[in-house]
Every structure is written in structure tokens, then in C-alpha cells.
Structure 1
């Protein structure tokens, strides 16, 4: 095996739990599908889509698909709000910011971009020129943070950390 293909973007970061660290440890390439979360990270969706999904879904097959899959949520739109703010600060597009963020992870080999036109391809290639400040990366990471999940959350708990460091004491009852 030379590489793994997985979904990874600002909206779907669960690969950070196990898959990206595994790939990096084993020297495997990572090829990301849906680095723009089905287009959600391009900024094309709004809270109006949450309010009237049936009316807006008729506008395009892609929009209908993302709404049906649950890709357009308040959480995801809040992430997109931060992406748009940073894109504006950098004079870039939200798509460029979303793609550039994936490339900041040293475990990432390459995103698979889904450009349908030469204009989209040129826009996506502009992600290679995006340079984030540390505070911009922090804002993106905080906006899109994921829960650790099991077993990571358990291992990060104060109780388990104290046990593994030998700091647990038990009251004795006589």
C-alpha cells in the first residue's frame, strides 16, 4: 500500500484522530477527497438554505445532494463564515482558503480537486499561493474543531492521565 484516500476538510476533520497519524507514521501518502466539503466551503450556501431547503434544492443537483446528505448545517455555515472572513483578509476566495488549509497539514499529500471548468481550476490552483498567519490558522482550527471521540477523549481525561502518571490515591475504609 502506498497511499490512503480519505475525506478531509475544515468541516470533516475526523481523519485527524487516527487515519492521518497512521499514514504519516507508516510513510503513506494521503489523497483527500472532497477537500471543499462538496462545495460547502466555497461559500455558495447560506442560512437561507437551512430555512427553505426544498426551494433552494431545486436550483442545482449539487445543492440538492449536499442538503440531502446534511452537509449544510449551522455548524458548517459557522465554519464557512470564518473561512469567508479570512479569505477577505487575504484577498482570496473561500475555496482557496479551504484548499490551502488542507495543505498546511504535513500528513497531507494532495487534495483531489473537483474543478468542472478551467476558471475553477485556476481558482483552486491559487490555493498554492495562500499564506496564513498563525492567528488565521488558529481561528480556522478553532472554528472547525472536532470532538476527540473514543478512545481519545477517555485517554485525555484528567482521571486517566492521573492514573497513567501514578497520581491516583484511594481512600481506605476500615
Structure 2
């Protein structure tokens, strides 16, 4: 694998991030410790160094498995990302949310489970719509200054909140958020309305979760295979089916898997993107790793973009109009031909 810089930093991470939400067998699904070790070994042997987890994944088991694995590895080789926000115990009213008290408690618990002295990338997991963003950024900066965290990021949060946060960080000299984790795939392109343009502006790397649409873009549901997606999911509607068929057609042309095409698409959209590839089976990871050898042509991208196009809404669609001419002297607008 090639390595990329994460956001506006000097941190080098592999071009595919390994998602570990499935490490552990709680909740009736996932993979055990031995199989998780096998997956991480294969990922590392392929040059992968970027692991993504969270305090809540499998009730903390995901972090514990990673911690046990890292105990017998070169810790400094790996870039470990974890998150806080979601409730991971019932001890007190502040055991969830974005507040500083929960942040500090969560970090200490994660460090214990990961058996490490520091977290490479620390995300706010999901916006609680309560805590002031300056409280979050100040707390994160304190963790960086304490050496418990190296870099910070944010996940599943409105673009205006992230923009306010990074503007404050720049003004106050706090550590900026360098990574933005969001759902993004060929069947979930709504982040293109606000989140992705914002990330580009601040030089943030986007780390898409569910880049395969929960497995829908692999074509397995078209083949009648069972999965964890609810039948009423938007990932299984007529639009998603049409997009998946377009992916399969290009995959057949290239002689690769549909998953390879869907993953590669997220990395060729004109912004910094490192997709998170989850795996509960070694075979799943092995197929995902083949993505690094795939290149989509301009024609492939055109077909996929057209099949999955969304309405950007206002003002996105308004900005697509190919030049609203302004005569500053006459004070009138002359709308000209749209791009289509």
C-alpha cells in the first residue's frame, strides 16, 4: 500500500484504513480474537498501518483485542484511531455525550483497553447537539498537550459545527481536527452538499465509513445473500440496485470485484479520502486489499457519477448554473445556459 498524509499534518497512514467494529462476538455477530489477529496480520503484511475503533465497539472488546494484538507488535508502526461520545457504561449521567468530563473518562478507559500510553487519532464520535464546540476543542487540545493523544478528528457532525470548531482552533492555537469520518459511498453521496466541500476547505482527510453501502455495493444482496441490512433500508431500494448494477458492469469489464470498484470510487473524487474497510473474515479483507491495484478511468467515473447522482439542493444546485453574469453598472443579472 501507498501512504498518505492525514489532513494538514505530517502523519503517514496507509491508503486503506482497517475498520474493527466487528472485532468481538457480542451482539450476535462479529469475529473472535484469533480471527481478528489473523485479519490484522494480513493487513499489516500488506503495508496497512491505520486501525479504526471506538470505545463502544463490541462494548469495548474491539479495543481490548487491538490492545492484546499491539502488545506483541511494534506499537509505533500502527496509527490507532478511536472515538468517544456514545454511552459505554451506566455509571453516571455524564457517561455519554461530547462533554469534557466524558471525554477525559473515555480516554482513560480506552488507553487501558488498548494497553497503550497514547492514542494516535482521537475522534468525537457523534455530535450531541448540546456541548459547545469550544469545550470539545479545548478538551482535545489539552489531551494533545498531555501526550495522551497525538491528533484529533470528528465524526458524524454537521458541517457548520466542524467549520466553527476548526476556525476556533486556528484562532486559539488549539490542535485542529484533521480527519472527518462520515458515511460516504456511491449510494450515500449527500455529504457532497456541505461536509465534503468543508473538509476540502480545511484540508481535512475524509475517512468514509460504509464505503460499500453495508455490503450492498458488492452485489451480494442482488445474489440473494443474507446480511445485517434491514429490508427497508435505503441501501436496498431501486436506486441503490441500479447503482450496484452499474458497479458490477464496470467490475466485470475490469476483471475485479464490485467491492474494489466501489471502494476505488471513494478515493478518486478530487479530495483526500481514505475509506474504512471492515472485515470479519480474512477473505473479505483480502478482496478489499486488491483495491489498491485498481484504477478507474474518466469514463468509468463518469458512468458511476451519473448512475449515483444526487440533487445538491440549495445552494448547491444554484451554484451549478454555468455563470450568472452580473453587470455591476446596470445592476441586472443575466442567467445563461446551464451545464446540464
TM-score norm. by structure 1 comes to 0.79
Are 1:40 and 2:216 an aligned pair?
A: yes
The verdict on how the C-alpha distance between 1:74 and 1:93 changes in structure 2, with shifts beyond 3 A counting, is: same
Contact 1:29 1:109 in 2 (8 A): yes
Q: Which runs of 5+ in 1 are unaligned?
A: 49-55, 170-174
What number of residue pairs does the alignment pair up? 156
Give the C-alpha shift of residue 100 in structure 1.
0.7
The verdict on how the C-alpha distance between 1:168 and 1:45 changes in structure 2, with shifts beyond 3 A counting, is: same
Are 1:3 and 2:169 an aligned pair?
A: no
- Match 2:198 to one of 18, 22, 41: 22
Structure label with greater radius of gyration? 2
- Match 2:269 to one of 105, 110, 114: 105
The verdict on how the C-alpha distance between 1:109 and 1:152 changes in structure 2, with shifts beyond 3 A counting, is: closer
Q: Which runs of 5+ in 2 are unaligned?
A: 1-176, 336-340
Contact 1:99 1:127 in 2 (8 A): yes
The within-5 A match list for 1:60-99 is 60-62=226-228, 65-99=229-263
Q: Give the alignment's Cα RMSD to 1 decimal.
A: 2.4
- Match 1:119 to one of 283, 288, 294: 283
Per-residue CA deviations over 1:72-101 (Å, capped at 9, x if unaligned) read 011110001110000000000001110011
Per-residue CA deviations over 1:43-63 (Å, capped at 9, x if unaligned) read 0122x9xxxxxxx7xx7451x
The verdict on how the C-alpha distance between 1:167 and 1:125 changes in structure 2, with shifts beyond 3 A counting, is: same
Give the C-alpha shift of residue 157 in structure 1.
5.0
Equivalent-residue separation in structure 2 for 1:164 and 1:144 (angstroms): 37
Per-residue CA deviations over 1:5-32 (Å, capped at 9, x if unaligned) read 1111111111112211211110112111
Equivalent-residue separation in structure 2 for 1:22 and 1:28 (angstroms): 8
Equivalent-residue separation in structure 2 for 1:164 and 1:104 (angstroms): 37
> Quick one: higher RCO (CA 8 Å, sep 6+), 1 or 2?
1
- Match 2:324 to one of 161, 164, 167: 161
Give the C-alpha shift of residue 163 in structure 1.
5.8
Equivalent-residue separation in structure 2 for 1:89 and 1:168 (angstroms): 45
User: Secondary structure of 2:271's partner?
Assistant: coil
Q: Which has the higher helix share?
A: 1
Contact 1:38 1:66 in 2 (8 A): no
Equivalent-residue separation in structure 2 for 1:133 and 1:2 (angstroms): 29
TM-score norm. by structure 2 comes to 0.42
